[in-house]
């Protein structure tokens, strides 16, 4: 199993170790390292030149096991720039691409194990339950005699988007390609260190599976299961 390795040109090691917000944001790595434990994270200054013949730092975080070769090994890793390469390069082992355990966040939300394009099963969080209730973490508190339930603020946008996805599955709205791409990427990012830059390399969802991924976020498998059960009941009558 091999987690991705990041190379940040011209970065200062002290800034990375301090998880400096500006440094991580500039390299599009804020989400990747936001909850990465110290015990499974490595930052170090690269001796000599790295990808693109630039000087800089190596950064990596992993799930259960660190990358077998943690550093700049062009003979073993396929290094590709993000954009023009001035902010970030991503190195992957072409013979051992990241698996769910390599990218898993320390805490994951419940959902459905869904087979994606690499043949592995990834845990897709369920934002909205079939009964319309929260699948996302929520607060509940009392206001006078009333108990109020509200989705946690950091998940409020996902809750709203899930309503739009549900409406689309119900035929009340339409999916756009842009929405499907962004929503699917963000759904994977809840439980895994996955973002648009890594998706451009791994392409875990595609035209064959994006609907299944989106469906998992709104509890659609339970709906389909109920429909199948009803069909069997009707056929036995």
Chain centroid to Cα 200, Å, comes to 13
Say what the pTM is.
Answer: 0.91
pLDDT, one tens digit per residue, over 151-168 is 999 999 999 999 999 999
Greatest pairwise CA separation for the chain in angstroms: 75
**Residue 234: per-residue pLDDT:** 65
Examine the pLDDT at 204 and tell me if it is beyond 60: yes
Examine the pLDDT at 130 and tell me if it is beyond 70: yes
**Residue 184: per-residue pLDDT:** 96
Q: CA 146, CA 216: separation in Å to the nearest integer?
A: 32
Examine the pLDDT at 45 and tell me if it is beyond 90: yes
**Residue 228: per-residue pLDDT:** 74
**Residue 175: per-residue pLDDT:** 84
| Tokens, residue 178 | 């842009």
Q: How confident is the model at residue 224 (pLDDT cuts 50, 70, 90)?
A: confident
Return the C-alpha torsion angle 139, 141, 143, 144, nearest 10.
Answer: 160
Q: How confident is the model at residue 237 (pLDDT cuts 50, 70, 90)?
A: low
Within 8 A by CB and 6+ apart from 117, the residues are 203, 204, 205, 206, 208, 209
For 41-61, b where at least 16 C-beta lie within 10 A, e where not — what string? Answer: bbbeebeeebbeeeebbbbbb
In 3-state terms the chain splits into helix, strand, coil percentages (rounded to 5) of 40, 20, 40
Closest CA to 40 of 193, 188, 236: 193
78 in Cβ contact with 92 (< 8 Å): yes
**Residue 129: per-residue pLDDT:** 94
pLDDT, one tens digit per residue, over 15-26 is 999 999 999 999
- 213 or 226, greater pLDDT: 213
Q: CA 213, CA 110: separation in Å to the nearest integer?
A: 14
């Amino acid at each position: 199993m091999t987690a991705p390795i990041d190379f940040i040109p011209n970065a200062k090691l002290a800034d990375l170790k301090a998880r400096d917000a500006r440094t991580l944001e500039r390299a599009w790595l804020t989400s990747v390292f936001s909850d990465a434990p110290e015990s499974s994270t490595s930052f170090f200054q690269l001796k000599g030149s790295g990808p693109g013949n630039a000087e800089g730092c190596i950064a990596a975080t992993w799930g259960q096991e660190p990358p077998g070769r943690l550093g700049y090994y062009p003979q073993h890793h396929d290094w590709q720039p993000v954009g023009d390469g001035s902010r970030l390069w991503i190195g992957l082992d072409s013979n051992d691409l990241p698996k769910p355990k390599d990218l898993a966040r320390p805490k994951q939300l419940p959902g459905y194990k869904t087979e994606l394009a690499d043949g592995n099963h990834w845990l897709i969080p369920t934002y909205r339950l079939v009964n319309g209730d929260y699948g996302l973490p929520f607060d509940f508190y009392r206001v006078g005699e009333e108990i109020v339930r509200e989705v946690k603020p950091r998940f409020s946008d996902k809750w709203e988007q899930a309503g739009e996805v549900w409406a689309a599955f119900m035929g009340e709205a339409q999916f756009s390609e842009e929405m499907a791409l962004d929503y699917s990427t963000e759904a994977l990012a809840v439980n895994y260190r996955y973002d648009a830059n890594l998706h451009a390399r791994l392409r875990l969802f595609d035209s064959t599976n994006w609907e299944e991924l989106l469906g998992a976020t709104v509890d659609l498998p339970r709906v389909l299961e109920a429909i199948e059960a009803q069909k069997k009941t009707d056929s036995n009558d």
